[in-house]
Chain A
Amino acid sequence: MDLTTSDLADGTVVTLVGRFDAHEVPAFRDSVAPLLDRDGDLVVDLFSVVFIDSSALAELVRTSKLAKERDTRFALRNLSAPVRVILELTGLHLALEVEDAATVREPS
C-alpha cells in the first residue's frame, strides 16, 4: 500500500492506495501518529483502496478515538465501493465519520 500526506488549509489528508490490511497497519500508525498533534482536521482518503481487512478497520477506529481525545476531527473521504460495502457490513460506517457518505467514488 502506498501512503502519502498532503497539507491543506484546514488540516492534513492521508491518501492510501492499494490493499489496507494487517501488514500495512504499522506503517499507517507510524505515519498518522505525528499528524494527530497537528492543528486542523485529519482526513483519510480511501479512493484507491481496493480492500480493507479487520485489522485495518480496527486501526481506523483506534485512530478515531485518539483524535477525539485530542479534539482533532478525524474523517474518511472518497470511499471506494469495496471499502464502503465493508464499512456497511461491519457497521463501522456508523462509528466513523464519513464525508459525503451518500457518494461512492470509483478509481478509473
Chain B
Amino acid sequence: MTVDTYRSYREWATTKLATRPQVSVVIPAYNEEIRILPTVGAIATHMSSRGEPWELIVADDGSSDTTVALLSGLRFPNMRVLTTDRNGGKGSAVRRGIAAASGEYILFADADQSTPIEQFDHMFTRMREEGLDLLVGSRAAHGARVSGKSILRRVLSRGLRTFVRVLFDIRVRDTQCGFKLFRAETAREIFARQVIDGFSFDLEIIYLCHRLGFKVDEIPVEWIDAPGSKVDEAKVVARFLVDLAHIRLNDLRGRYEPRPTVSASVPAPRSRTHGPDDL
C-alpha cells in the first residue's frame, strides 16, 4: 500500500468511473447486516489502492434484514446492489452478479471476508501471466494458510474432496472456497449453462470449465473462519451429495448445452446503482 490509499478510496467512493472497469468484484449477500460494511470497507480500500478501474456488485439474495438499506446508504457511484424478492440461493445470487458485471475480470468473494481481499493481488498476477480462464482460491493447495476451521469441517472437507476427485476427475482440490477469479468471457459462458442455485454451484462451474476445456488452476490462499458462519455441516454434506448427483444427471440430460445469454436465464432482478443521483 502507498500513502495514497485513503485518497484512492475516496476518489473511487465519490467519482463514477469514466472507463470500463478492469475488475468487477461480486459479493453474494444474504442477511449480512452484521458483516457487510466491514467487508465492503476492506474491499473498497484495497481494490482502490491498486489503481485499476474496478466496480463492486453486491448481489443480495432476498435478505430480510437491513443489508440492502445499509448498502444503499453508502451511495457509492461504482457500486451496484442487485435485489430480488426471494431467497434463491448463493448460486443464483452469484449468477445475477456475474450477469451484471462489466469488468474484464470478475472476482467472486464471500461476504464474510474469510479470504482477505489482499489475496487478490497474487491471484490477479498469476491469472494474467498464465492466461487462465478461472483461478480458484484454495484452502487445500500446498501453501494455504487456514485458521479457525473446526476438526469436523476439516474431516468433512477432505472426504468430500476425495469423493469429487474420484467421481468427477476434477483436479482442483478445493471447489468450495468463496474466492474465485474469472476471465469475464469465461464466466459468462459458464454461468449461461450453470443451473444449480445453491452453494454447490462452485463445483458445477469448475466441472463445466473442465468439460469445456477452459484453463483452470487453483492457488493457495489465506482463509480465516468467520464466526457467525451460516454453515450447518450435516445439511451441507447432504445437500452437496445430492447436488453431485444432479450435476451428473444434468450433464447426461444435456442441460449444460449453451443458452442464449446469461441474463435470459435468471429471474429479472431489481437492479439499480445506488448513488448520489438516486436520492
Contact = CB atoms under 8 A, between A and B. Distances in A.
Contacts of B224: 19, 21, 23
Contacts of A52: 38
Contacts of A9: none
B83 interface: no
B27 to A, nearest CB: 14
A55 interface: yes
B46 A22 contact: no
A85 B41 contact: yes
A82 B41 contact: yes
Given A86-B42, A89-B41, A104-B5, A54 B118 contact: no
A35 B38 CA distance: 27
Nearest to A23: B148
A81 B45 contact: yes
What 7 pairs between A and B have smallest CB-CB spacing? Answer: A86-B41, A22-B227, A81-B5, A104-B6, A85-B41, A82-B45, A81-B6
A51 B45 CA distance: 10
Tier of interface size on chain B: 20 to 34
Interface string A11-22: 000000001011
Interface residues of A, number: 22
A89 B116 CA distance: 18
B113 interface: yes
Interface string B40-57: 111011100100000000
Contacts of B41: 82, 85-86, 88-90
A86 B38 contact: yes
Contacts of A23: 147-148, 224-225, 227
A85 B13 CA distance: 11
A24 to B, nearest CB: 10
B171 interface: no
Interface string A24-59: 000000000000000000000000001111110100
B30 interface: no
A81 B37 contact: no
B5 A106 contact: yes
A77 interface: no
A23 B225 CA distance: 9
Interface in B106-147: 113, 116, 118, 147
A82 B225 CA distance: 20
B210 interface: no
Given A21-B224, A23-B227, A55-B227, A85 B6 contact: yes
A89 B74 contact: yes
A55 B2 CA distance: 28
A51 B1 contact: no
Given A21-B226, A23-B224, A55-B227, 7 more contacts: A22-B227, A50-B42, A54-B37, A81-B9, A81-B45, A82-B46, A85-B44
B279 interface: no
Interface in A46-79: 50-55, 57
